[in-house]
Structure formats: structure tokens, C-alpha cells
Structure 1
Amino acid sequence: MLFGEVLDGTEAQRVGLAYRCVEDADLLAVAHEMAARAASAPRELVIETKKTLAAMADVQTHPEAVARELTPQLWSTRQPWFAERLAALQAKITKK
């Protein structure tokens, strides 16, 4: 529901309120697949991402956003899992 208007899944996805719309029969399988991907992220990365998102609540300008995100992003590129995750993403993109 948005501004008193009931939206179906397709419309919720179109306006950015839902990440993805799937058939009812596929819902649990897709939810488990998405949860597994989220759970595979390094714990430290999830913690830092949540901290960064929380810190962005009062950001008003693009330069402020860049300043807040720079340190955590640089930190993530120096972690041992970064190269492995980047290579996996590059391989996935290359397949398309």
C-alpha cells in the first residue's frame, strides 16, 4: 500500500518498493535463494554495510555521501575475500 493505494507485486517492483516480483508458486524457492546469497556475504562486510547505511540517514549532499562511503569502501577492497568476490562477479558478468 502506498498513499492509500493497494499495489500488486508487479507494480510494487515497478515503483521501487519491491526488489523482485515472482509467481506465487516460486516465492519460497526464490526467497531461500536470495537469503542464501545474502548469508554468503562475509559477516564483517554485512556489519560495515549496515553501519554505512545507518550513517547515511542524515546526509544531505553528494560530497557528504562520498565522504561517508569512502573509508568503508576502501576498507572492503583490502579484505582477503574482496578479490575472490570480484572475480566471481566478473565471471558472472562475462557469461552474459
Structure 2
Amino acid sequence: MATKDSHNRKTGIVKLLGDVIDDLKDYTDECLDKARDLEYDLRKAVSDSVSPEEKENEGRTEEEDVRELKRQLSELQGQIAQLSSVLAHAVGKPAPDGGK
């Protein structure tokens, strides 16, 4: 028969496990939200580069457009690296690029 102390300990462990699982769910949801945002930004950047609006290109040269696309690509690569690092940290593995 379990004593009162061991019964409280079991309840404490169950509560702890429940809290860990809840925190893991929240963290997973946050990672998925960031991935969704990244996917949206990537799709928008690709869409804008393939079919830019007329007003956006007025007065800009092709060189300026290329520089802008390279800047956007660099931003997206940074976001991907950051997300990879966060996800790798969540599963306890090093990021593909060394966590940079």
C-alpha cells in the first residue's frame, strides 16, 4: 500500500510530465507558426520576383532589381538558418550549418 508521501510524489511526477508535455506542445506550435510564416514569405518573394507589379519596377534598372532580389534571398536564407537552428536545438542535434 502506498504511503501518503509516495502518493504525493507520484502526483508530482505526473504533474511534472504533464507540464513538460504541455510546454513541448507550445514549443512545437511556435516552431510550426514560424515555419508557416517563413513559407509565406518565401512564396511571396518568389511570386513577386516572377510577376512583379508594374508600379514596383517604375524607374528601377535590372541591376537594382537583381540587388533587391539578392537582398531578399539573403534575408530568407538567414531566416531558414535561424529556423533550422531552433528546430535542431529542439531535437538536440546540431544545425546543418553548425548553428550559425
TM-score computed with the length of structure 2 as normaliser: 0.29
Larger Rg computed on CA atoms:
2
Structure showing greater relative contact order (alpha-carbon pairs closer than 8 Å, 6 or more residues apart): 2
